[in-house]
Amino acid sequence: MISESLVELSRWQFALTALYHFLFVPLTLGLAFLLAIMETVYVVTGKQIYQDMVKFWGKLFGINFALGVTTGLTMEFQFGTNWAYYSHYVGDIFGAPLAIEGLVAFFLESTFVGLFFFGWDRLSKYQHLTVTWLVAFGSNFSALWILIANGWMQNPLGAEFNIDTMRMEMQDFALVLFNPVAQVKFVHTVMGGYVAGALFVLGISAFYLLKKRDVAFAKRSFTVASVFGMCAVLGVMLLGDESGYEMGDVQKYKLAAIEAEWETQEAPASFTLFGIPNQETQQTDFAIKIPYVLGLIATRSTTEQVTGLKDIVAQHEQRIVNGIQAVTALTAIRSGNDTPEARAVFEQHKQDLGYGMLMHRYVADPARSTPEQIHQAAIDSIPSVMPLFFAFRLMVACGIAMFVLLIAALWICYTRRYTQYTWLLRACLCAIPLPWLAIESGWFVAEFGRQPWAIGEILPTFMATSSLTARDLWISLVGFITVYSALLVVEMWLMFRFARLGPSSLHTGRYHLENQRLEADDASPAPVTTTTKLA
């Protein structure tokens, strides 16, 4: 049996490094398109200010991009370093989209991003514009393939277990590719990234408007961000709803956990707006319910039921009992006792093999499981409800807040009173963290809600780890936390510094701080006070 602490630490390490990577990816996804849009306006209108916008927001894009690349490497390495059994067990399917991601998307994005930064004087206007669009498309394709891989973890279609190689193998690539969960997830996730990009530009532009400096630059950026942001936030909400509908179809346990749906209610089920879910007593204390809403959202009907957690646990218990027979037959076959009888038993129960494997956590030989152990495994086969319940509500609340804010921002653009409503501008500035809160909680809901599975109903998370010791994990985890924290501090410091400077950091001589400095220089040749002048 694998030690619980190794599993816990491996999960923590993966979660922290993935959440950290996901601080940078959404901004890359969103800013890349904003840059492409701004540059298109530049090429069409020929106005210099739009090129300055591309270059300035591009500088911030670069600071963020560097850490996105850095932390992305960790993710690719980590399946092998920390989830070796997972890599062996599903690499035949899961590896393919990752490799294709490299070939189709990541090469495109990374090869052209260098030209985006350094190719201004080497490329024609149109060539450079093409390069910028290719970077944007490259980063988005990249997200597509990663989410196809992730979608397969949530809803593993098109694969079959092979006894000889002792792993899952691909049967139908089209099913993996056009997995409905993956498609919905992809659009929901990249649109979330667009919102992050939009609110980032919006907030920083609002800061310049509040300071009444570089107003021409700021109001154009503000407008582009509001329009783009509004389209994106509508997309996010629409696809979020679609996501819920898909989940009701293929991940019933996740949906029920998010909604703290303990009992199967009569259709259409009511929606719990707020409450304190209690895993022990299997009920939600202090629940505030809205009739009919959950049933309508999750099933889009008034007659279909949303299965409650208690019923799901009962179903899982039966599947575990069947699965134990599959595991027992498989063990016999693998240890040389390859009889037609054993093969027949295995074939009969192989769709529940994963459920049988859940028992490895409680007993060395699943064939000797006691009814109590099986019951416990069934209870543990649903995720913890409370964290999911709240993370989901946090995500939705942030989404609604951003939607309202973007309406206000559009209204500012429409009235053209860019500097008048200071409280609104201040709200835009303070709202910069909102998309990140929403995105990180969304990631948490998706991945924590998948537990106890690494691959939905196929491979339990605790079996997926590498053969390492808890000590190994402590060393690497502390290492990651230390280095990542240091990198984050440096990144944020640079980001704040350049955001405060604004377009003056381009040293074109056209922007506020440079003119101010020139005036000051004229008055008195002031000594350089800081040792860290900007390049």
Q: Which residues between 251 and 310 bind another protein (CB under 8 A)?
A: none
- How is residue 157 written in tokens? 């279609």
Residue 406: CB minimum distance to another protein, A: 30
Q: Measured from the CB atom, is 59 or 316 closer to another protein?
A: 59
Q: Which 166-225 positions form the footprint of another protein (CB under 8 A)?
A: 166-167, 169-171, 173
Question: Is the sign of the CA dihedral 491, 496, 502, 508 positive or negative?
Answer: negative
At residue 57, φ and ψ (nearest 5 deg) are -65, -25
Bridge partners of 277, per DSSP, are: 284
Q: Measured from the CB atom, is 310 or 343 closer to another protein?
A: 343
Q: Measured from the CB atom, is 334 or 417 closer to another protein?
A: 334
Q: Measured from the CB atom, is 9 or 209 closer to another protein?
A: 9
CA–CA separation, 179 vs 193, rounded Å? 21
Residue 18: CB minimum distance to another protein, A: 15
Q: Which 436-475 positions form the footprint of another protein (CB under 8 A)?
A: 466-468, 472, 475
Residue 398 as a binder of another protein (CB under 8 A): the answer is no
Q: Measured from the CB atom, is 302 or 516 closer to another protein?
A: 516
Question: If DSSP codes are grouped into helix, strand and coil, which group holds residue 5?
Answer: helix
Of the candidates 134, 126, 264, 144, the one whose C-alpha atom is nearest the C-alpha of residue 193 is 144
Q: Could you give the string, one character per residue 484-523, with x where binding to another protein holds by CB under 8 A and - elsewhere?
A: ---x--xx--x---x------xxx----------------
CA dihedral 414, 420, 424, 430 (to 10 degrees): 120
Task: Print the SS3 string covering 13-63.
Answer: HHHHHHHHHHHHHHHHHHHHHHHHHHHHHHHHHCCHHHHHHHHHHHHHHHH
CA–CA separation, 71 vs 301, rounded Å? 43
Q: Which 54-93 positions form the footprint of another protein (CB under 8 A)?
A: 62-63, 65-67, 69-70, 72-74, 76-77, 79-82, 84-93
CA–CA separation, 391 vs 370, rounded Å? 35
Q: Which 110-149 positions form the footprint of another protein (CB under 8 A)?
A: 110-115, 117-120, 122-123, 127
Residue 95: CB minimum distance to another protein, A: 3
Residue 228: CB minimum distance to another protein, A: 25
Residue 233: CB minimum distance to another protein, A: 30
* Conformational region of residue 158, where left means phi above 0, alpha means psi within -120 to 50, and beta covers everything else: left
Q: Which 316-355 positions form the footprint of another protein (CB under 8 A)?
A: 334-335
Residue 12: CB minimum distance to another protein, A: 16
At residue 417, φ and ψ (nearest 5 deg) are -95, 70
Residue 444: CB minimum distance to another protein, A: 24
CA–CA separation, 326 vs 18, rounded Å? 34
Max intra-chain CA distance, the chain: 96
CA–CA separation, 296 vs 225, rounded Å? 33
Residue 531 as a binder of another protein (CB under 8 A): the answer is yes
Q: Measured from the CB atom, is 104 or 427 closer to another protein?
A: 104
